[in-house]
């Protein structure tokens, strides 16, 4: 049992890293563009047009650097999700496979956020400058971001957050309960195989609904939208199963009643 208990600190450390990275991602994608967009943009007088920006080496260098960071994240996130890599990690790391995947994803995302280069001299696709848009559009975006993040956190809880973060696998292993996925129904396994990003619509809202869409934000939104679109594969059977699971969990939260069944 002692070696098994040593797995717990690793899983907890991975969870803490992922949780902290998620908080930082909220700041990076929402708070910075909503609250700090004016300060980071450099002012409308410093921005160039699209043709001038394409000839500006500093703008292109910053965009190339940001693109490299995004491709690093996408490559890590996709490569470690392949069956070959998952099988290799499971062979050598056992139940820590999911925790290590989550930790590596968090580290890759940290690199993107910490070394991201804004492009204040680049052009903007849109910007709210005239009143009343300059006042009301940021407020509208803020409300939508809050709603989107609340929905994201709610959906993650519905989708068994402990298992997504790798904690449940270690917990089950220490108690000798086996693999959590082995206890799930065929409908759940089918849904998990189709649904890579259960918060696709909400993330797209966060990425695109901003009062000022600058050049680097456009690059971030475009690439992650493409990636989310390629990874999202729900069909009607998956949606019916997801709706049934959500209703069941809401029913359980409302209190046990006679006749309830798993």
Consecutive H or E run containing 230: helix 215-231
Q: State the DSSP string of 86-116.
A: HHHHHHHHGGGHHHHHHHHHHHHHHHHHHH-
In angstroms, how far is CA 233 from the centroid of its own chain?
16
Q: Residue 147: which residues within 8 A CB-CB, separation 6 or more?
A: none
Q: How far apart are CA 178 and CA 116, in angstroms?
A: 41
- What pLDDT tens digit does each residue of the chain (262 aa) get? 446 667 888 889 999 999 999 999 999 999 988 886 544 545 555 678 888 888 888 899 999 999 999 999 999 998 998 889 999 998 989 889 999 999 999 999 999 999 999 998 888 888 888 888 888 999 999 999 999 999 888 877 777 777 778 877 887 777 776 666 555 656 555 655 555 555 788 899 999 999 999 999 999 999 999 988 776 555 556 556 666 766 776 676 666 554 444 4
- Helix%, strand%, coil% for the chain, nearest 5: 75, 5, 20
pLDDT score recorded for residue 261: 43
pTM strictly above 0.85: no
Q: How far apart are CA 93 and CA 169, in angstroms?
A: 12
Distances (CA, A) of 136 to 30, 40, 67, 127, 156: 16, 20, 32, 13, 30
pLDDT score recorded for residue 118: 92
Q: Residue 107: which residues within 8 A CB-CB, separation 6 or more?
A: 17
Q: How far apart are CA 179 and CA 240, in angstroms?
A: 25
pLDDT score recorded for residue 198: 56
């Amino acid at each position: 049992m002692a070696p098994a208990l040593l797995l717990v600190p690793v899983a907890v450390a991975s969870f803490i890293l992922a949780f902290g990275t998620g908080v930082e991602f909220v700041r990076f994608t929402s708070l910075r563009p909503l609250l700090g967009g004016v300060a980071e943009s450099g002012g409308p007088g410093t921005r160039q047009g699209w043709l001038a920006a394409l000839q500006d080496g500093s703008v292109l260098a910053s965009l190339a650097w940001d693109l490299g960071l995004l491709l690093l994240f996408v490559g890590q996130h996709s490569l470690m999700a392949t069956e070959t890599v998952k099988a290799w990690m499971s062979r050598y790391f056992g139940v820590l496979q999911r925790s290590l995947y989550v930790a590596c994803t968090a580290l890759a995302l940290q690199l993107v956020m910490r070394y991201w280069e804004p492009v204040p001299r680049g052009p903007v696709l849109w910007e709210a400058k005239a009143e009343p848009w300059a006042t009301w559009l940021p407020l509208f975006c803020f409300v939508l971001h809050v709603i989107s993040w609340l929905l994201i956190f709610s959906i993650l809880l519905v989708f068994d957050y402990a298992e997504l973060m790798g904690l449940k696998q270690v917990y089950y292993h220490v108690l000798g309960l086996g693999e959590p996925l082995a206890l799930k129904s065929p409908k759940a396994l089918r849904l998990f195989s189709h649904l890579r990003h259960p918060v696709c619509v909400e993330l797209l809202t966060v990425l695109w609904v901003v009062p000022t869409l600058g050049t680097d934000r456009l690059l971030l939104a475009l690439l992650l939208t493409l990636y989310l679109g390629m990874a999202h594969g729900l069909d009607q059977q998956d949606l019916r199963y997801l709706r049934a699971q959500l209703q069941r969990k809401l029913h359980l939260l409302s209190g046990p009643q006679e006749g309830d069944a798993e």
